[in-house]
Amino acid sequence: MELRHLRYFLAVAETHNFTQAAARCYVAQSALSQQIARLEKDVGAPLFSRTSRSVRLTAAGELLEPRARRILADVDNAQAALDALAGVRRGRLRLGLVQTMAVPFDMVEVLADYRARYPGVDLRVSNDPSSRMAAAVLAGTLDVGVVGLAAGQVPEGLDHRTLGSAPLVAVVPREHPLADREAIDLAELPDSHPLIQFTRGSGLRRQVEAAFARAGAEAGQHFEVGQIHDMIRLAARGVGVTVVPRSTVVGPGSVLGLDAADELPRGARMLRLTDGEAVHHICVAYDGTRLAPAAEAFLDVLEHHGGEEHHGGEEHYRDDEHHGDDRSA
Protein backbone atom coordinates (compact mmCIF):
# COMPACT_ATOMS: atom_id res chain seq x y z
CA MET A 1 0.00 0.00 0.00
CA GLU A 2 1.50 3.32 -1.10
CA LEU A 3 0.60 6.86 -0.10
CA ARG A 4 -0.35 7.76 -3.65
CA HIS A 5 -2.81 4.87 -3.66
CA LEU A 6 -4.52 6.39 -0.62
CA ARG A 7 -4.61 9.83 -2.26
CA TYR A 8 -6.21 8.36 -5.38
CA PHE A 9 -8.66 6.41 -3.23
CA LEU A 10 -9.75 9.55 -1.34
CA ALA A 11 -10.12 11.52 -4.57
CA VAL A 12 -12.55 8.93 -5.91
CA ALA A 13 -14.34 8.72 -2.56
CA GLU A 14 -14.87 12.51 -2.57
CA THR A 15 -15.86 12.96 -6.23
CA HIS A 16 -17.70 9.64 -6.75
CA ASN A 17 -16.25 9.79 -10.24
CA PHE A 18 -13.05 8.25 -11.65
CA THR A 19 -12.68 10.88 -14.37
CA GLN A 20 -12.95 13.80 -11.96
CA ALA A 21 -10.65 12.07 -9.47
CA ALA A 22 -8.02 11.54 -12.15
CA ALA A 23 -8.20 15.22 -13.14
CA ARG A 24 -7.82 16.26 -9.48
CA CYS A 25 -4.74 14.02 -9.11
CA TYR A 26 -3.26 15.06 -12.49
CA VAL A 27 -3.07 11.51 -13.81
CA ALA A 28 -4.74 9.64 -16.65
CA GLN A 29 -7.97 7.90 -15.73
CA SER A 30 -6.56 4.54 -16.84
CA ALA A 31 -3.56 4.99 -14.54
CA LEU A 32 -5.77 5.94 -11.61
CA SER A 33 -8.04 2.95 -12.22
CA GLN A 34 -5.03 0.64 -12.29
CA GLN A 35 -3.71 2.01 -8.99
CA ILE A 36 -7.13 1.67 -7.33
CA ALA A 37 -7.28 -1.94 -8.55
CA ARG A 38 -3.81 -2.54 -7.06
CA LEU A 39 -4.95 -1.04 -3.74
CA GLU A 40 -8.03 -3.28 -3.75
CA LYS A 41 -5.76 -6.26 -4.34
CA ASP A 42 -3.56 -5.21 -1.42
CA VAL A 43 -6.50 -4.87 1.00
CA GLY A 44 -8.18 -8.00 -0.32
CA ALA A 45 -11.59 -6.45 -0.95
CA PRO A 46 -13.31 -4.13 -3.43
CA LEU A 47 -13.38 -0.53 -2.20
CA PHE A 48 -15.95 0.85 -4.64
CA SER A 49 -19.22 -0.36 -6.02
CA ARG A 50 -19.28 0.76 -9.65
CA THR A 51 -22.29 1.12 -11.94
CA SER A 52 -22.76 3.02 -15.18
CA ARG A 53 -24.24 5.93 -13.17
CA SER A 54 -22.49 5.98 -9.82
CA VAL A 55 -19.42 5.09 -7.79
CA ARG A 56 -20.08 4.25 -4.14
CA LEU A 57 -17.89 3.13 -1.27
CA THR A 58 -18.26 -0.50 -0.22
CA ALA A 59 -18.16 -1.52 3.44
CA ALA A 60 -14.40 -1.98 3.11
CA GLY A 61 -14.10 1.46 1.50
CA GLU A 62 -16.06 3.09 4.31
CA LEU A 63 -13.74 1.41 6.81
CA LEU A 64 -10.62 2.60 5.02
CA GLU A 65 -11.69 6.19 4.32
CA PRO A 66 -11.22 7.78 7.80
CA ARG A 67 -8.02 5.81 8.36
CA ALA A 68 -6.61 6.93 5.03
CA ARG A 69 -7.33 10.55 5.92
CA ARG A 70 -5.53 10.25 9.22
CA ILE A 71 -2.54 8.50 7.65
CA LEU A 72 -2.12 11.24 5.05
CA ALA A 73 -2.63 13.94 7.69
CA ASP A 74 0.12 12.35 9.80
CA VAL A 75 2.45 12.35 6.81
CA ASP A 76 1.71 16.01 6.09
CA ASN A 77 2.26 16.89 9.74
CA ALA A 78 5.57 15.02 9.79
CA GLN A 79 6.77 16.95 6.74
CA ALA A 80 5.68 20.23 8.28
CA ALA A 81 7.50 19.37 11.50
CA LEU A 82 10.69 18.68 9.56
CA ASP A 83 10.27 21.97 7.72
CA ALA A 84 9.82 23.79 11.03
CA LEU A 85 12.93 22.14 12.40
CA ALA A 86 14.84 23.53 9.42
CA GLY A 87 13.45 27.00 10.16
CA VAL A 88 10.86 26.98 7.38
CA ARG A 89 7.26 27.77 8.32
CA ARG A 90 5.18 26.30 5.58
CA GLY A 91 2.60 23.59 5.28
CA ARG A 92 -1.17 23.75 5.52
CA LEU A 93 -3.72 24.89 8.06
CA ARG A 94 -7.29 23.68 7.63
CA LEU A 95 -9.35 25.85 9.93
CA GLY A 96 -13.02 25.51 10.75
CA LEU A 97 -14.52 28.84 11.81
CA VAL A 98 -17.96 29.33 13.34
CA GLN A 99 -20.04 32.34 12.26
CA THR A 100 -21.40 33.09 15.71
CA MET A 101 -18.43 34.70 17.41
CA ALA A 102 -18.60 35.40 21.14
CA VAL A 103 -15.04 36.52 21.76
CA PRO A 104 -13.62 39.89 22.88
CA PHE A 105 -11.46 40.25 19.76
CA ASP A 106 -11.90 40.28 15.99
CA MET A 107 -11.17 36.93 14.37
CA VAL A 108 -10.45 38.66 11.06
CA GLU A 109 -7.53 40.40 12.78
CA VAL A 110 -6.32 37.03 14.05
CA LEU A 111 -6.34 35.60 10.52
CA ALA A 112 -4.63 38.67 9.08
CA ASP A 113 -1.93 38.53 11.76
CA TYR A 114 -1.38 34.83 11.19
CA ARG A 115 -1.08 35.35 7.45
CA ALA A 116 1.44 38.16 7.95
CA ARG A 117 3.57 36.04 10.29
CA TYR A 118 3.42 32.84 8.24
CA PRO A 119 2.89 33.74 4.57
CA GLY A 120 4.17 30.32 3.46
CA VAL A 121 1.29 28.44 5.07
CA ASP A 122 -1.59 27.38 2.84
CA LEU A 123 -4.57 28.60 4.87
CA ARG A 124 -7.97 27.07 4.17
CA VAL A 125 -10.95 28.35 6.15
CA SER A 126 -14.33 26.62 6.08
CA ASN A 127 -17.61 26.94 7.92
CA ASP A 128 -20.04 24.24 9.05
CA PRO A 129 -22.17 23.58 12.11
CA SER A 130 -19.94 23.39 15.19
CA SER A 131 -20.56 19.72 15.93
CA ARG A 132 -19.63 18.80 12.37
CA MET A 133 -16.42 20.85 12.52
CA ALA A 134 -15.42 19.28 15.83
CA ALA A 135 -15.98 15.83 14.31
CA ALA A 136 -13.81 16.86 11.35
CA VAL A 137 -10.96 17.83 13.71
CA LEU A 138 -11.28 14.44 15.38
CA ALA A 139 -11.26 12.71 11.98
CA GLY A 140 -8.23 14.68 10.81
CA THR A 141 -9.94 16.56 7.95
CA LEU A 142 -9.59 19.83 9.88
CA ASP A 143 -6.55 20.83 11.92
CA VAL A 144 -8.26 23.32 14.24
CA GLY A 145 -11.88 24.27 14.83
CA VAL A 146 -13.12 27.50 16.41
CA VAL A 147 -16.55 26.24 17.41
CA GLY A 148 -19.62 27.29 19.34
CA LEU A 149 -19.57 24.43 21.83
CA ALA A 150 -19.64 24.33 25.60
CA ALA A 151 -17.06 22.22 27.43
CA GLY A 152 -19.25 19.14 27.67
CA GLN A 153 -20.00 19.24 23.94
CA VAL A 154 -16.41 18.87 22.69
CA PRO A 155 -15.88 15.28 21.48
CA GLU A 156 -13.81 12.97 23.65
CA GLY A 157 -10.22 12.85 22.44
CA LEU A 158 -9.94 16.56 21.58
CA ASP A 159 -8.26 19.30 23.58
CA HIS A 160 -9.92 22.68 23.78
CA ARG A 161 -9.48 26.18 25.11
CA THR A 162 -12.37 28.46 25.96
CA LEU A 163 -12.08 31.74 24.06
CA GLY A 164 -15.14 33.64 25.26
CA SER A 165 -18.87 33.73 25.75
CA ALA A 166 -21.75 36.09 25.09
CA PRO A 167 -25.37 36.26 26.21
CA LEU A 168 -28.12 35.52 23.73
CA VAL A 169 -30.34 38.47 22.83
CA ALA A 170 -33.57 38.90 20.89
CA VAL A 171 -33.60 41.22 17.87
CA VAL A 172 -37.06 42.55 17.05
CA PRO A 173 -38.33 45.11 14.53
CA ARG A 174 -39.14 48.59 15.81
CA GLU A 175 -42.91 48.04 15.46
CA HIS A 176 -42.84 44.88 17.56
CA PRO A 177 -45.12 45.07 20.64
CA LEU A 178 -42.15 44.37 22.94
CA ALA A 179 -39.72 46.75 21.23
CA ASP A 180 -39.80 49.27 24.10
CA ARG A 181 -38.76 46.68 26.68
CA GLU A 182 -35.21 46.34 27.98
CA ALA A 183 -35.48 42.61 28.73
CA ILE A 184 -37.97 39.87 27.92
CA ASP A 185 -38.80 36.29 28.74
CA LEU A 186 -38.96 34.21 25.55
CA ALA A 187 -42.42 33.01 26.58
CA GLU A 188 -43.61 36.60 26.05
CA LEU A 189 -42.86 36.62 22.33
CA PRO A 190 -46.16 36.65 20.41
CA ASP A 191 -46.81 34.19 17.61
CA SER A 192 -47.48 37.05 15.20
CA HIS A 193 -43.81 37.27 14.23
CA PRO A 194 -42.11 34.08 12.98
CA LEU A 195 -38.84 33.05 14.58
CA ILE A 196 -35.85 33.34 12.25
CA GLN A 197 -33.57 30.42 13.12
CA PHE A 198 -29.98 29.51 12.29
CA THR A 199 -28.99 26.33 10.42
CA ARG A 200 -30.63 23.13 11.61
CA GLY A 201 -28.23 20.98 13.63
CA SER A 202 -26.02 23.93 14.59
CA GLY A 203 -25.03 24.61 18.18
CA LEU A 204 -26.75 28.00 18.17
CA ARG A 205 -30.00 26.47 16.90
CA ARG A 206 -30.02 23.93 19.73
CA GLN A 207 -29.10 26.61 22.27
CA VAL A 208 -31.99 28.83 21.19
CA GLU A 209 -34.45 25.95 21.28
CA ALA A 210 -33.16 24.99 24.73
CA ALA A 211 -33.80 28.57 25.92
CA PHE A 212 -37.37 28.40 24.64
CA ALA A 213 -37.81 25.06 26.41
CA ARG A 214 -36.59 26.56 29.70
CA ALA A 215 -39.13 29.34 29.23
CA GLY A 216 -41.87 26.74 28.80
CA ALA A 217 -42.58 27.96 25.28
CA GLU A 218 -42.49 26.56 21.77
CA ALA A 219 -40.16 28.15 19.25
CA GLY A 220 -43.24 28.65 17.08
CA GLN A 221 -43.37 29.34 13.37
CA HIS A 222 -39.90 29.86 11.98
CA PHE A 223 -37.76 29.68 8.93
CA GLU A 224 -34.11 28.79 8.52
CA VAL A 225 -31.31 31.11 7.39
CA GLY A 226 -27.67 30.10 6.94
CA GLN A 227 -26.08 33.51 7.63
CA ILE A 228 -26.21 35.38 10.95
CA HIS A 229 -25.92 38.69 9.09
CA ASP A 230 -29.11 37.93 7.15
CA MET A 231 -30.99 36.80 10.27
CA ILE A 232 -30.43 40.16 11.97
CA ARG A 233 -31.26 42.18 8.85
CA LEU A 234 -34.43 40.19 8.22
CA ALA A 235 -35.56 40.85 11.79
CA ALA A 236 -34.84 44.56 11.30
CA ARG A 237 -36.97 44.50 8.14
CA GLY A 238 -39.91 43.18 10.15
CA VAL A 239 -39.90 39.72 8.61
CA GLY A 240 -39.75 38.13 12.07
CA VAL A 241 -37.70 38.04 15.26
CA THR A 242 -34.43 36.26 15.92
CA VAL A 243 -32.29 35.19 18.87
CA VAL A 244 -28.52 35.49 18.41
CA PRO A 245 -25.38 36.07 20.49
CA ARG A 246 -25.03 39.72 21.48
CA SER A 247 -21.48 39.68 20.12
CA THR A 248 -22.79 39.14 16.58
CA VAL A 249 -24.87 42.33 16.81
CA VAL A 250 -22.44 44.77 18.46
CA GLY A 251 -18.78 44.80 19.43
CA PRO A 252 -15.49 43.58 17.88
CA GLY A 253 -16.10 41.24 14.98
CA SER A 254 -19.88 41.78 14.95
CA VAL A 255 -21.42 40.89 11.62
CA LEU A 256 -22.94 44.37 11.22
CA GLY A 257 -19.82 46.21 12.37
CA LEU A 258 -21.74 48.09 15.08
CA ASP A 259 -20.51 49.52 18.35
CA ALA A 260 -22.61 49.37 21.50
CA ALA A 261 -23.77 52.98 20.99
CA ASP A 262 -24.83 52.45 17.36
CA GLU A 263 -28.43 52.04 16.30
CA LEU A 264 -29.51 48.83 14.61
CA PRO A 265 -30.75 48.98 11.00
CA ARG A 266 -34.27 50.41 10.54
CA GLY A 267 -34.54 51.17 14.24
CA ALA A 268 -34.65 47.50 15.27
CA ARG A 269 -34.20 46.76 18.97
CA MET A 270 -31.90 44.34 20.75
CA LEU A 271 -33.55 42.98 23.90
CA ARG A 272 -31.81 41.25 26.77
CA LEU A 273 -33.16 37.84 27.82
CA THR A 274 -34.10 37.26 31.45
CA ASP A 275 -32.76 33.70 31.12
CA GLY A 276 -29.27 33.85 32.61
CA GLU A 277 -28.45 30.41 31.21
CA ALA A 278 -28.88 31.57 27.61
CA VAL A 279 -25.16 32.05 26.95
CA HIS A 280 -23.20 31.31 23.78
CA HIS A 281 -19.73 29.79 24.30
CA ILE A 282 -16.82 29.76 21.86
CA CYS A 283 -13.79 27.48 22.14
CA VAL A 284 -10.95 26.31 19.94
CA ALA A 285 -10.76 22.52 19.54
CA TYR A 286 -7.75 20.56 18.35
CA ASP A 287 -6.03 17.20 18.72
CA GLY A 288 -2.93 17.90 20.79
CA THR A 289 -1.47 14.49 19.99
CA ARG A 290 -1.15 15.30 16.29
CA LEU A 291 -0.76 19.07 16.15
CA ALA A 292 1.10 20.27 13.05
CA PRO A 293 3.48 23.26 13.37
CA ALA A 294 1.15 25.44 11.29
CA ALA A 295 -1.72 24.63 13.65
CA GLU A 296 0.43 25.18 16.73
CA ALA A 297 1.46 28.57 15.37
CA PHE A 298 -2.19 29.49 14.87
CA LEU A 299 -2.97 28.63 18.49
CA ASP A 300 -0.10 30.89 19.56
CA VAL A 301 -1.47 33.80 17.49
CA LEU A 302 -4.95 33.16 18.88
CA GLU A 303 -3.55 33.20 22.42
CA HIS A 304 -1.77 36.48 21.72
CA HIS A 305 -4.98 38.18 20.55
CA GLY A 306 -7.11 36.69 23.31
CA GLY A 307 -4.75 37.58 26.11
CA GLU A 308 -4.58 36.03 29.56
CA GLU A 309 -7.26 38.38 30.87
CA HIS A 310 -9.80 36.74 28.58
CA HIS A 311 -8.68 33.17 29.17
CA GLY A 312 -8.30 33.47 32.92
CA GLY A 313 -5.06 31.49 32.85
CA GLU A 314 -6.93 28.85 30.90
CA GLU A 315 -6.06 25.21 31.14
CA HIS A 316 -6.08 22.55 28.46
CA TYR A 317 -8.95 20.19 29.12
CA ARG A 318 -9.67 16.74 27.85
CA ASP A 319 -13.35 15.97 27.46
CA ASP A 320 -13.03 12.72 29.40
CA GLU A 321 -11.72 14.73 32.37
CA HIS A 322 -14.33 17.45 32.31
CA HIS A 323 -18.02 16.88 32.88
CA GLY A 324 -19.33 20.42 32.77
CA ASP A 325 -22.40 22.00 31.29
CA ASP A 326 -23.90 19.86 28.52
CA ARG A 327 -25.66 22.74 26.83
CA SER A 328 -25.04 23.34 23.14
CA ALA A 329 -23.64 26.70 22.16
Domains 3-73 and 89-164+281-321 share a fold: no
DSSP 182: S
Which CATH number among 1.10.10.10, 3.40.50.2300, 3.40.50.720, 3.30.450.20 corresponds to the domain 3-73? 1.10.10.10
Please give the CATH number for the structural domain made up of 166-279.
3.40.190.10
As a whole number, mean pLDDT of residues 73-78 equals: 81
Tell me the per-residue pLDDT of 120-139, one tens digit each, with 9 for 90 and over.
888 999 998 888 999 999 98
Rounded Cα distance, 256 and 249, in Å: 6
- Look at residues 217, 264, 261, 259 and name the one whose alpha carbon lies nearest to residue 238: 264
CB-based burial of residue 145 (10 Å sphere; 0-12 exposed, 13-18 middle, 19+ buried)? buried
The CA distance from 100 to 106, in Å, is: 12
Looking at CATH, the fold of the domain delimited by 89-164+281-321 is given as D-Maltodextrin-Binding Protein; domain 2 (3.40.190)
Rounded average pLDDT over 160-179? 93
| CB-based contacts of 37, cutoff 8 Å, min separation 6 | none
Ordered by start, the domain boundaries in the chain are 3-73, 89-164+281-321, 166-279
26 vs 82: which has the higher pLDDT = 26
| The pLDDT value given to residue 85 | 58
- Report d(CA 263, CA 261) in Å as an integer: 7
In this predicted model, what pLDDT tens digit does every residue of 39-55 receive, in sequence order? Answer: 999 889 999 988 877 88
The predicted model scores a pTM of 0.64
CA 20 – CA 11 distance, rounded (Å): 8
